[in-house]
Amino acid sequence: MTVKRDRKHILVVGASRGLGLGLTKEFLRRDYHVTATVRAAISGGGLDEYYEQLTMDTLDINSPSLTEAFLARMKNEIFDVVVLNAGIYGPREKNLSESTVEEISHVMMTNAINPVRLAERLVPMLRPETGVMAFISSALGSLELNANDGSELYCASKAMLNRLSRSFATTYDYLTVLNLHPGWVRTELGGLDAPLDVETSARGMADVLESRAGAGGHEFLDYRGKIVPW
Ligand SMILES: NC(=O)c1ccc[n+]([C@@H]2O[C@H](COP(=O)([O-])OP(=O)(O)OC[C@H]3O[C@@H](n4cnc5c(N)ncnc54)[C@H](OP(=O)(O)O)[C@@H]3O)[C@@H](O)[C@H]2O)c1
């Protein structure tokens, strides 16, 4: 699909459901062209009416071959915003000792290592001067807040994401890099007890993303634009 010249362009990685789908819809409403990646085709996402503004693509961030193929397809694109949203909770109700090496590796690769590795490869496709690279983190990754909802692995994976994205931001210090805390949101990952709906969180994060274009630096902000301590 061709991106109209006057339309801003956002890439949302991990857009099949939850916050990724919510961000996709919010930016479509804001008249962006959205390139949205999923691991498997989705239906009933409420995206049909936006077919002229939407490019769906396939990506599993843990698959090197799918990642290379995706990057080859994207090589001529320019993105105003890139959102690395894909994430998993990891083994629920298991502490470090109870988790297998495979479970630990899977959550760290998905939540921390592969988002930053993908971001490094996407730098050439980010609009110079005003482009924003955003990682969906979590306040549960904040060492200072010391929050703990029972999953030390999930918390550690987001702390690792924060640390690796700081190295990324230091290397590419001419970019604007954001780590965003969406709030506690009702999704498959967040669960039914979460106080926030997807629309409110996505609208807030979209406001923050738009407000930071060209600002530079590396900030950890929540969906209302409030600073989250590292
Ligand atoms: N919900 C909350 O309260 C909350 C709070 C703080 C931070 N977050 C963060 O927000 C992000 C989105 O979470 P959510 O609540 O929307 O969760 P969700 O509803 O479970 O959605 C997770 C998304 O990530 C995708 N994904 C998972 N593994 C992937 C992989 N290897 N490659 C590509 N895509 C992958 C999923 O795709 P499939 O459909 O293919 O599985 C899905 O689109 C996550 O990074 C999460 O840690 C959420």
Reported as a single tens digit per residue, the pLDDT across 61-119 is 999 999 999 999 999 999 999 999 999 999 988 889 999 999 999 999 999 999 999 99
Minimum-distance ligand 1 atom for the alpha carbon of 17? 43
Q: The tokens of 190 are what?
A: 């967040």
pLDDT at 37: 98
pLDDT of residue 12: 98
Instruction: Give the Cα-Cα-Cα angle 94, 167, 24 (nearest 5 degrees).
Output: 70
| pLDDT one-digit tens code per residue, 149-191 | 678 999 999 999 999 999 999 999 999 999 999 999 999 999 9
d(CA 208, CA 129): 17
Going along the chain from its start, the domains and CATH numbers come out as 9-222 (3.40.50.720)
Report the nearest-CA residue for atom 45 of ligand 1.
Answer: 87
Taking the CA of residue 196 as reference, the ligand 1 atom at the shortest distance is 3
